[in-house]
Amino acid sequence: MQLRRLGRSGLVVSEFALGAMTFGMKDWGCDEQTAIDLVDRYLDAGGNFLDTADAYGSSEEIVGRAIKGKRSQVVLGTKAGLPTGRGPHDRGTSRLHLVSACERSLRRLGTDYIDVYWLHLDDEATPLEETVSALDDLVHAGKIRYVAASNMRAYRLMKALAIADRIGAQRFVAFQGQYNLITRTLEREHFGLLSEEGLGFVGWSPLAAGMLTGKVTPDAGNAGTRLGQREVTVDKLVKNERGFRITAEVRAIATELGCSPARLALSWQRTRPITSTILGARTPEQLDDNLSALGLDLPVEIVERLDRLSEMPAEYPGAFIDMFQGWLRGDITSMSAGSHLA
């Protein structure tokens, strides 16, 4: 498994991270012993990057027990921001919540420090200055090593980076977001921003909540799958007509190559500008299949086929801006594109 620097930081993480949202999760997750076995299996395969959150039920406690005696082998990331209680300060990215949430996570994880502390969700009701400053204080207190963001609009992410630069606070070293063959919308604004600002990208839901495994169908109950046991807004981004069309083609290509749809989808991820992809396995068999993507190098024509299959529709203003870029660079062969506006 390749190791890569997380953005411009000195932190090195494996190309596949192990997500712990399934740990202890009722119905579609796994029990504690299975979770511990998954961590051991992942570390043995050369991985070092674990991802959890305070909003994932008992996940942090299980992760803490799973890495006991192995803390130095792990780059440990957790998140704060989603609701963890009913109180007004049991959510969001205020100074009050972030400081107390961090302290609780440290206790649950059984560690003195968190390597990467992620904002789980942008809290647009709290001034970014307060959030950035609070994270900086946690770094200086030695409780966290690096700060990062997740699920944030591009303009807000850029604003947070500018605030950090202005006040001399710790900058985000990475951004985490949903990215897969069905959901590629981060390519519109975020990827360019991350490249220019030097942030690493960590992708979650690479199998689109299980859609890309081919197990989810439009007309079945889908028992035993995550999408079959819950109905939340974010799932509707993948569980739709476009998602089923892409999944059907992924299954067909996987059959041609003699591999599982999951292995194919994860191999495609490795061709993208991604620092690390979070695996969300809940059984040893799923993890083994996911990790087998490391040994599958896709032919160029298959990558291009998948790219075309999942290509996003043109959208303003990006499509309009792209139409003129060659012209603005002085490429005379592309000048005819805008000649009608003269």
Strand 12-14 with 3-5, pairing: antiparallel
The type of residue at 109 is: L
For residues 227 and 235, the answer to whether their CB atoms sit within 8 Å is yes
The CA–CA distances, whole Å, from 179 to 104, 277, 328 equal 29, 9, 31
Average pLDDT value over all residues in the chain: 92
Closest CA to 222 of 249, 243, 194, 250: 243
Predicted local distance difference test score (pLDDT) of residue 338: 47
At 339, the pLDDT band (50, 70, 90 cuts) reads: very low
Would you state the pLDDT for residue 231? 60
Q: Are 154 and 193 in contact (CB under 8 A)?
A: yes
**Other Cβ atoms within 10 Å of 102 Cβ, number:** 21
By annotation, the residues acting in catalysis are: 56
Q: What is the DSSP code string of 187-215? A: GTTHHHHHHHHT-EEEEE-TTGGGGGGT-
Could you tell me which residue, 335 or 100, shows the higher pLDDT?
Answer: 100
Summarize pLDDT for 221-276 with one digit per residue, the tens: 555 555 555 565 677 878 889 999 999 999 999 999 999 999 999 999 999 999 99
Find out whether 63 and 50 touch, Cβ atoms under 8 Å.
Answer: yes
What tens digit of pLDDT does each residue of 29-77 get?
Answer: 999 999 999 999 999 999 999 999 999 999 999 999 999 999 999 999 9
- Cis geometry, peptide bond prior to residue 299 (ω within 30 degrees of 0): no
298 φ/ψ angles, rounded to the nearest 5 degrees? -75, 135
Under 8 Å CB-to-CB from 162, ≥6 apart: which residues? none
pLDDT band at 157 (very low <50, low <70, confident <90, very high): very high
Residue 307's alpha-carbon distances to 39, 182, 300, 303, in angstroms, are 32, 11, 10, 6
Which CATH number applies to 3-311: 3.55.50.30, 3.90.930.12, 3.40.50.410, 3.20.20.100? Answer: 3.20.20.100
* Phi, psi (degrees; rounded to nearest 5) at 184: -120, 20
Give residue 46's pLDDT: 97
